[in-house]
Amino acid sequence: MEAVSRTAQWTAAARALESERPDRIFDDPWARTVAGDVGFDLLERYQGAAVAPFIAVRTKYIDDAVMRAVAESGARQVVLVAAGMDTRAGRLPWPDDVVLFELDRPALIEAKDEILPETVYRPRCARHAVPVDLAGEWAQPLRDAGLDVTRPVTWVVEGLFFFLDQAEAHALLRGMAGLSAPGSVLIGDFVSRASLVNPFASAFLHALREDGNPWRFGTDKPAETLSEAGWRPSEITQPGEETASFGRWELPVPPADRPHVPRSFLFTATLDR
């Protein structure tokens, strides 16, 4: 498995910790299994950017946003872009007709199938794993796997954009818009540009670089980044704001218009046509 794919075990380890709290805000019963020792080692190694509360908040925000998109927009094809060790296929109460696609690198998909055989993991919807390089050609493999471009899609891009460069991030955003029928929804997260050079997270950023996973893409204008690619933001929020706190975020929330602040954005967008 490529180094970047091990970061999927890192985020799974954070989901395991949240799931094991008595006051958990979601339950991922497979998180500890898919994280393995690697995931917990990385949780130790990549300290300094409030990872555990951030992953808890991000997971819950996206769980709720996806359920809303599927129920209210009727976008019942769900694509988890860079799914990693995401177990939403088995975790969320999907309506019967949901078809879910998981895109990630071939080695990650193979490893996930080995760690989670069907005896251990039962998806609650039709699920298709699609091995791709998201910095290359991924649209045709997704269509070949059964994505119907005449029907709306709920796209989830969680924990990926910072690993891409700017051109790759923009191409991905445009590519998703190009495959999206009206009614489609995009849900995901960005970091700000200051997060890429945050002196208070320098050990964290250095460790990621050293492991071959440097953070590369950030934006201070998430609304513009989305709309330039054909997406109309319906919500852009930050951990700690009213719609993205869930009792987990104890750090101050910087005002939305303050520049040069290390921060993360969580967003929901719809197709701009």
Ligand X SMILES: C[S@@+](CC[C@H](N)C(=O)[O-])C[C@H]1O[C@@H](n2cnc3c(N)ncnc32)[C@H](O)[C@@H]1O
5 binds ligand X (CB under 6 A): yes
Determine the Cα–Cα distance for residues 190 and 182; give it in Å rounded to an integer: 24
Question: Binding string to ligand X for residues 177 to 216, with x set by CB under 6 A, is what?
Answer: ----------------------------------------
Interface positions, 20-49, toward ligand X (CB under 6 A):
none
* Gyration radius of the chain over CA positions: 17
Minimum Å gap between C-beta 111 and ligand X is 10
3-state class (DSSP) for residue 157: strand
- Residue 158 or 220: the one with the smaller Cβ distance to ligand X is 158
Interface positions, 75-104, toward ligand X (CB under 6 A):
82-86, 104
- Is 141 within 8 Å of 185 (Cβ atoms)? no
Question: Binding string to ligand X for residues 148 to 177, with x set by CB under 6 A, is what?
Answer: ----------xxx--x--------------
3-state class (DSSP) for residue 3: helix
Tokens matching residue 30: 């497979």
64 binds ligand X (CB under 6 A): no
Tokens matching residue 29: 């019963």
134 binds ligand X (CB under 6 A): yes
| CA dihedral (89, 2, 116, 132) positive or negative | positive
Q: Which residue is nearest to ligand X (CB)?
A: 84
- Residue 213 or 245: the one with the smaller Cβ distance to ligand X is 213
18 binds ligand X (CB under 6 A): no
Determine the Cα–Cα distance for residues 23 and 104; give it in Å rounded to an integer: 31
Longest distance between any two alpha carbons in the chain, whole Å? 50
Contact positions toward ligand X, by CB under 6 A? 4-5, 7-8, 11, 82-86, 104-105, 108, 132-135, 158-160, 163
